[in-house]
Structure formats: C-alpha cells, structure tokens
A and B are shown apart, each in its own frame.
Chain A
Amino acid sequence: MQYMLLIYDNESAAGEPDDAEMAKWFEVTQAMEAAGVLRGGEALHPTTTATTVRVRGGETVTTDGPFAETREQLGGYYIVDVPDLDAAIEWAARLPSADRGPVEVRPVMVLDQG
C-alpha cells in the first residue's frame, strides 16, 4: 500500500520555515528514508502560484489560482519534469479526467538536500 501524505498548513501565517524547523523536516525525511518507506514527496510553492486547467468541448481553459470547490477530491498526482508552465498545462489537458474535473498545476520547489 502506498499513501500520499497531503500537508495542509496556513500559508499566510506560516511564512518560510526557519532553520530549526527545516532541520526537523529533514530529520523526519531522513527517518522515512532509513525506514525504507519514502517513495516520493515534494514541497509545493504557495497556492498563489497555482493554475487550474479544464478541458471544455475540446478547448483547454486555464484559470489563475488553486481549485477550491469541494465537490471533487484530490484523486492522485503526477510529478512531471518539463521546461515550463505551458508544457505542464499540455500534459494536464491530456489527462483523461480533465474534461470532468479540473487538474491543479503546482510548481514543485526544488530543495537540494545533498
């Protein structure tokens, strides 16, 4: 079984974590690695950078911001490595569910842990 842990936090209150908190994040991450349970995980840029993609009648419609309605639930995720947002939107629009429910595209922060 694999589980995706979705980390919710108050973006506006939290701000950037200080060094002490970052050390704790790394500590837990390393513990997961040592236990052999870690399959993947990333920090996301805040929701102000999100773009929502829908396909309506074959046409790709993009809007600024995250998907906020509650009727659909997050059902999975891909991490794609592409040059820019346009390429990511193209992939999002090709997903079979895109003409039913939206796909939120969030840039992944790249933090090299070394």
Chain B
Amino acid sequence: MIAGLIRLCDDFSLAEDVVQDAFSRALERWPEEGVPPNPAGWVATAARRRAIDLVRRAQRFREKAAVLQRLEETELDVNPVMLHGEDGPHDDRLRLLFTCCHPALSMEAQVALTLRIVGGLTTREIARAFLVADTTMGQRLVRAKAKIRDAGIPFRVPVGPALEPRLDAVLSVLYLVFNEGYATTESEPLVRSDLCDEAVRLARLLMELMPRQPEVRGLLALMLLHHARRDTRVADGELVLLEDQDRARWDRAAIDEGAALVEEALRQRRVGPYQIQAAIAALHAQASTSGDTDWPQIVGLYTVLERIRPTPVVRLNRAVAIAMAGDVPSGLALLDRLGEEGALDRYHLFHAARADLLRRLGRAESSRSAYVRALAVCSHPVERRFLERRLIEG
C-alpha cells in the first residue's frame, strides 16, 4: 500500500505518514464503531484522503496539480497482510504502545494516549478516571496526537540498546495506570478499580507480545498480587493493614497466577526491580497468617533491590523488613540514618514506620512524637484517621 502511494505522490515520507495516520485513526475508531467490512480498503481510503489533504495544503506553495489528479483518479492496491501482522516487534499494537509511551510526550499524555488508543477507553472514561473535565482530557489527547504527527515520533519498537530504556518507559506508564486505580480509597472507587483491571489487561497484552522480557512478566505478577487483596484493603472507609487483612477473602487464583509468573520470570535469569517487588509481594500473599511471613527472605530480596535501585523508599522498606525479621534495633538504626539524610522528611510512612518500631521497643514517648510528625505531613483523610488511631492507642 505504501509502495502504491509513493508511486502516486513521489514522496516517501508523505506516503508513510498518511498510512501511519490512517492506522492510528483505524485503531482509534474501530473499537467504538466496529471493524468495517473491508478493513484494508478502509485504511487505504483514509490514507489516500489524508494524502489529498496534505498535497492540497502544500499546493499553496507549489502547483502539484498533476499529483493531485493522479491521486484522485487512481484506486490503490491494498495489501491486507499489513493489517494482520502478529510477528513480534512488527505487531501494530506493540508499535502503538511504544509510540504512545514515547518519552518525548509528557507522562500525563502517555497515560491518556495509552488508555485511549491501545486500551480503547473513551475520552470520557479516561477523564472520569483521572478526575478531569472531558474537554481537558480531549484537548490533552488532541495535543499529544498532534505532537506524534508533527514531531515525527516513530511508529516503531526500538531495537538493540535503545529497547531497554523505552521498555522501562512503557512499564512505568502501565504501573502508573495501575497505581492510579490502586492508591485511591475514596472518590469513585468503582471507576478507579477499572483502571487496575485495564492496567492488568494491557500488561497481559504486552507479555503476549514480548514473552522474552522478564520485567514485563514481573510487572504483571506484581499487579496481580496487589490486586488480589483489593477487597480487603479498606473496611468501612478505613485502611486495613496487611497484617490485619482477612486472608480468606484474598483472590486465590490471582495470587497463584502472580506467584507462577514471578517464578517463570526469575528463571529467565535477568533480574529487575519489578520481578523483585513481585517476589516480595508473593511472599506476603502466600503466607497463611501474617506471623508465617518469611521475613528473612524478604530482607534478602530488599537487599538485592537496594543494590539495583538504592532509593530512600527501598531502603525504608528494607529497614522495616529487618525489624519484622526480629532485629528491631538494627531496623531502627537504619531508619535513623535515613532520617538524618532528610530525603524522607515529608513522607508520612517513614515517620509512621519509625513510630511503630519505637513503640515495639517500648519507647512510648518517642513513638508518639514520631506519629505526630507523620500526621503533620499526611494529607489523605483515610490515612490520617489511621495514624490518629495509632497515636491514641499508643
């Protein structure tokens, strides 16, 4: 089809542009309007119309009447194979996903585009999920699509050393969609939980398309293992701690699937942060009671994670795991060192964790003042109520 257009317009990049544009339109419209009876013909017609538009526009500067006439008179040969490419990096859905998650687009735009174009959600649905006006979301999408077109963001899966950072970007977008749905405990919970389902669906698709990437498997596992606890995280509008959750109500099938995925991923021997976080989540999910949790192994996993991603939050989690494994003084010492560095000063969970360890060591006074500091930097109403309860119960 591209070859036919190049012949007609004498312009390779124009031909490529219009076909790419036609594909984007198809993938945008078909989920809503249904696949037309002759998909290849639909794409060819859309590409030809777009070419006519563009050439007409250019005509203001140069007479291209001959090209225009040829375009208008000629029917294109279509090559239907182009519509059914399922072969790895040549799959159109995969290319679309990498295009939507291109780092030259803002993160907001990447998320919105991915949900719209790859996920097939309507603009209205995305607007509601992110609590913005329909028109705002509509404009965001229009601007992002214009940037893809005008800035020449390629419709392609990168190869070689370029793949890893770009795949990371795709995984970040999917995880952000998931967390957007997961972190919320109030405000339209149903809509938000749909975002989790959508992120899981997209991660499944990505795993099908890139089965040899263990981090993709790791991310899907991580989402499934978190999502398995969705019904027990909040009771009567109050946050329920992992150790107090009703394990009988966890989604057993999701946990089994997540745990199996982690094992498969780790067997590929290219460990990464999503795989390790999933392995930790699996240990939590598989413990029959909170007392049965294999804390020493969790400490080991956090140690590996800290080596790859030495972020303050990872170091916080490792310190807590060390305390939970039985060595509370060492855990507290690590937290105090983190505290001196100051990076987590505005992070309420740091102060809450420190308060908890102090309480376990019987240092009630210090514990209370740590809870007060946690409250001072926490704005989420549900989490605030939780901290207030801890402060009173001492």
Contacts and interface: CB of A to CB of B under 8 A. Distances in A.
A100 B186 CA distance: 44
Contacts of A48: 143, 146-147
Interface string A36-62: 000000000100111100000001111
A49 B62 CA distance: 25
A19 B153 contact: no
B150 A84 contact: no
A89 interface: yes
A85 interface: yes
Interface centre among A59, A64, A114 (most CB of B within 10 A): A64
Contacts of B151: 45, 49-51, 85, 105, 107
A114 B63 contact: yes
B272 interface: no
B339 interface: no
Given A64-B104, A65-B106, A89-B104, A49 B150 contact: yes
B62 A107 contact: no
A105 B150 CA distance: 12
A72 interface: no
B329 interface: no
Interface in B142-178: 143, 146-147, 150-154, 156, 158, 162, 165
Given A45-B150, A107-B150, A107-B151, A85 B62 contact: no
A67 B154 CA distance: 22
Contacts of B146: 48-49
Contacts of A19: 60
**Number of chain B interface residues as a range:** 20 to 34
A65 B109 CA distance: 12
A84 to B, nearest CB: 4
Contacts of B344: none
Given A48-B143, A64-B104, A85 B61 contact: no
A111 interface: yes
Contacts of B60: 19, 22
Interface residues of A, number: 26
A86 interface: yes
B61 A88 contact: no
Contacts of A85: 102, 104, 151-154
A45 B152 CA distance: 11
A112 interface: yes
B127 interface: no
Interface in B106-150: 106, 109, 143, 146-147, 150
The 5 closest A-B pairs by CB, nearest first: A114-B62, A84-B154, A51-B104, A64-B106, A112-B62
Given A86-B154, A113-B62, 20 more contacts: A22-B60, A22-B61, A49-B146, A51-B104, A60-B165, A63-B103, A64-B106, A65-B106, A84-B152, A84-B156, A85-B102, A85-B151, A85-B152, A85-B153, A86-B158, A89-B104, A107-B151, A107-B152, A113-B61, A114-B61
Interface of A: 19, 22, 45, 48-51, 59-65, 83-86, 88-89, 105, 107, 111-114
6 contacts: A49-B151, A83-B13, A84-B153, A85-B153, A85-B154, A89-B104
